[in-house]
Amino acid sequence: MSLLNDKTCCWINDLSPRLDIKVLSEDKNCDWLIVGAGYTGLSAARKLSQLHPSQKIILVDAQLAGEGASGRNSGYLVDTTLNDGFTSNKDFSNYKKKTNIYKLGIESIKKFIKKYKVDCDWNESGKYFASSRLEDKKILINFSNILNRLDFEHELYNQGNLKEKLGTSFYKSALYTKGGILIHPGKLVRAMVDVLSDNVELYENSQLLEWKKDNDKVLCKFENFNITTRKIIFCTNGFLKSLGIKTNYNFPLTLTASMTRPLSDNEFKSIGEPKEWGVLPVRPMGATIRMTKNRRILIRNTAEVYNPFKMSETELKKRSINQKTGIKKRFPELPNDIIDCTWSGIVSRTRNSSQIFDKIDKNIFVAGCYNGSGIGVGTLFGEQIAIKANNEHTREIETIESRNKPTWLPPQPFLDLGVKARLIFERSRAESEI
Ligand SMILES: Cc1cc2nc3c(=O)[nH]c(=O)nc-3n(C[C@H](O)[C@H](O)[C@H](O)COP(=O)(O)OP(=O)(O)OC[C@H]3O[C@@H](n4cnc5c(N)ncnc54)[C@H](O)[C@@H]3O)c2cc1C
């Protein structure tokens, strides 16, 4: 397994390299161990360090902090989502609970960036759920009815409006929600690394291999050294299952994305100089596609069962061809070879799209599984799991815990077979949208 960052992700390559990286190099004892330094683990560490300035807090990550999914996602801070089964009114109350959580997630990020004066290319541009198939308009109208009931400001668009907004005639209908926010995910998570206070020791390229309870302590084994901790919080998201946590309730999926170089003035003019925008697909396996602040096009159009931390270069190249086609069919006027980088990342899914937020044993806590919407929710869950582990209660915890728990998943090999079959089915339904 390659532990260092693979330098394939444009968002991460935008950041200056970090110079202060420490690897676990001796046995340690601590009051708190947090495993995983993405939005969730970094937010848990930040909150704990405020709650316990004099206790010893250790944060570990198998790779570089923030350079897993948190630094390599598509950067949609979502107010609403369409693609996890909530296209009818029958799940209305659960959908409402889900958007209540998104709202708290957005508030957490807003507070964070305000407090630490973070520049993460924040743009309250809203977002589109769009389709090239006229028949998908029915889904959007149904979704619009749900959003009306929940008072989400939104608008339905047709092809003509969309060409003007997005610079492509590919989409025939769309629903625009005003509350979606676009960010630079790498800048956001890097800020979370930078603001860690002195009472958090961060060890990177330090992978937790095994852990076990030993009376009131938890013993954690790394490659050459051990950490013994009083309390532990697991924030490893797509890797929860590999650590034996909630194994029947979550599973990882690997996504790949590509980003173009910035478009030249002429190229940008040829597509009508649109403002920054973000499109999410109406059909679950369709492409997420975004015009960034500096005129790059990002496309994410694969989701698959694939195990390693990072995909090999050869495998990434195959996905990149697919992504080049996706860009070309939306922007035929642009040159062929404008993709600058292609990368993979892991998300964690549950069967019913509920997240995991739990005490799994005395002094052992876990937060994760955001089903592809983890920027705001991960930050919220990280902060709140730290508070829960501190035996306190908040209105945020009440909102999080009022949602249905993740439902049970079958064991292997049935799980992989089922997931693969579902992905093939969804992919065939979304063929035109990839
Ligand atoms: C391509 C892509 C696009 C996405 N788009 C969006 C989007 O637009 N909007 C959105 O909200 N979300 C999106 N997501 C999902 C979002 O990125 C995740 O939900 C979020 O980053 C989860 O944060 P996290 O901190 O829980 O997990 P992660 O960022 O995955 O962090 C977990 C960390 O745990 C570490 N780890 C794992 N195992 C171990 C171990 N044994 N020992 C030590 N450390 C370990 C990993 O190295 C990793 O750094 C996307 C994800 C991907 C991959």
Residue 117 has a pLDDT of 98
Please provide the average confidence, as pLDDT, over all residues in the chain: 94
Residue 118 pLDDT > 70, yes or no? yes
**SS3 at position 433:** helix
Amino acid 338 reads I
Give per-residue pLDDT as tens, 48-59.
999 999 999 999
Give per-residue pLDDT as tens, 256-265.
999 999 999 9
DSSP H or E run through 104 = helix 92-115
Q: Which residue has the higher pLDDT, 177 or 4?
A: 177
Rounded mean pLDDT, 161-165? 94
pLDDT band at 354 (very low <50, low <70, confident <90, very high): very high
Residue 166 pLDDT > 70, yes or no? yes
Lowest-confidence segment of 224-228, 325-329, 410-414 by average pLDDT = 410-414
Q: Which residues line ligand 1 (CB under 6 A)?
A: 35-41, 60-63, 68-70, 72-76, 78, 207-208, 235-239, 243, 255, 257, 300, 345-347, 368, 370, 372-375, 378
The per-residue b/e assignment along 77-110, b for 16 or more CB within 10 angstroms, e otherwise, is bbbbbbbbebbeeebeeebebbbbbbbbbbebbe
Rounded mean pLDDT, 105-131? 98
pLDDT band at 6 (very low <50, low <70, confident <90, very high): confident
Contact (Cβ atoms closer than 8 angstroms) between residue 107 and residue 262:
no
- Give how far the C-alpha of residue 257 lies from the chain's centroid of Cα atoms, to the nearest Å: 13
Task: Give the span between the Cα atoms of 299 and 287, in whole angstroms.
Answer: 7
Cα–Cα nearest to 367, from 172, 219, 234: 234
Residue 87 pLDDT > 90, yes or no? no
Residue 2 has a pLDDT of 43
**pTM, 2 dp:** 0.97
Position in ligand 1 atom list of the atom nearest CA 208: 42
Residue 60 pLDDT > 60, yes or no? yes
**Helices and strands, number each (H, E), in the chain:** 11, 18
Which mutation among 347, 369, 377, 385 tests ligand 1's pocket best, with the greatest number of atoms within 8 A of CB? 347
